[in-house]
Amino acid sequence: MGVIAGIMSAFCQGAGLVLAKKGMIMEKELNITINPFHATFIRLAIATTFLYVFTILRGKLKFVFQPILENREEGIKYAIAGTIFGPTLGVSLSLFTVALIEPSIAQTIFSLVPVFAIFVARILTKEKITWQSLSGVTIAMSGVMILIWREQIENLFL
C-alpha cells in the first residue's frame, strides 16, 4: 500500500507542479503578478479547506485535534517546524523554481530530497545511515547531475 501511495503521490505532485506553472504563465498573459509565496498560500488554503471538509464529512474531526490538544512530548513544535520547512517554504520555493525553469528539470532537482532528509534525520533523530540509503542518494544525485549537465555530457559522446 505504501508503494502505491508513493506512486500516486509522485503523480499528483508532478501534475500539481505543471498546473501551478500553467497558472503562473496564464497570470503573466493577463499582466497580473502572483508571487510564488502567495500562490503557495492559495494552494495551502484550498488544500486545508478540502481536507477539513473531507474530515468533517467522515466524522473524524475529533481525531485530528486530539493529538494537538494532548501535545505529548512537545511534538507540536516539531510539527510546526515541519510545516514551515515543508509545505510553506518547500512548496513556495518549488513554485519559484518552476517559474524560472522547466517543471521536469525542477522536479528532478526536487528528487534530491532524500539527500537532505538523510542528513537531517541523522542530526535530529540520530537515525543510522545505511548503505541502502546512501545508494539511493547516489542514484538520485547522479540523475540530477545527468539532467542538469545533459548537454555537456551529450557533447562528450558526440
pLDDT per position as a tens digit, 71-122: 777 778 888 888 888 888 888 888 888 888 888 778 777 877 877 888 888 8
Q: Is residue 28 pLDDT above 70, yes or no?
A: no
The pTM score is: 0.65
Average pLDDT, rounded, for the chain: 82
The confidence score (pLDDT) of residue 88 equals 84
Helix, coil or strand: residue 131? helix
The total of other beta-carbon atoms located within 10 Å of residue 36's CB is: 19
Dist. CA 57–CA 45, nearest whole Å: 18
Write the CA distances from 110 to 13, 104, 154, integer angstroms.
11, 10, 23
Residue 13: pLDDT band (50, 70, 90) is confident
Helix, coil or strand: residue 47? helix
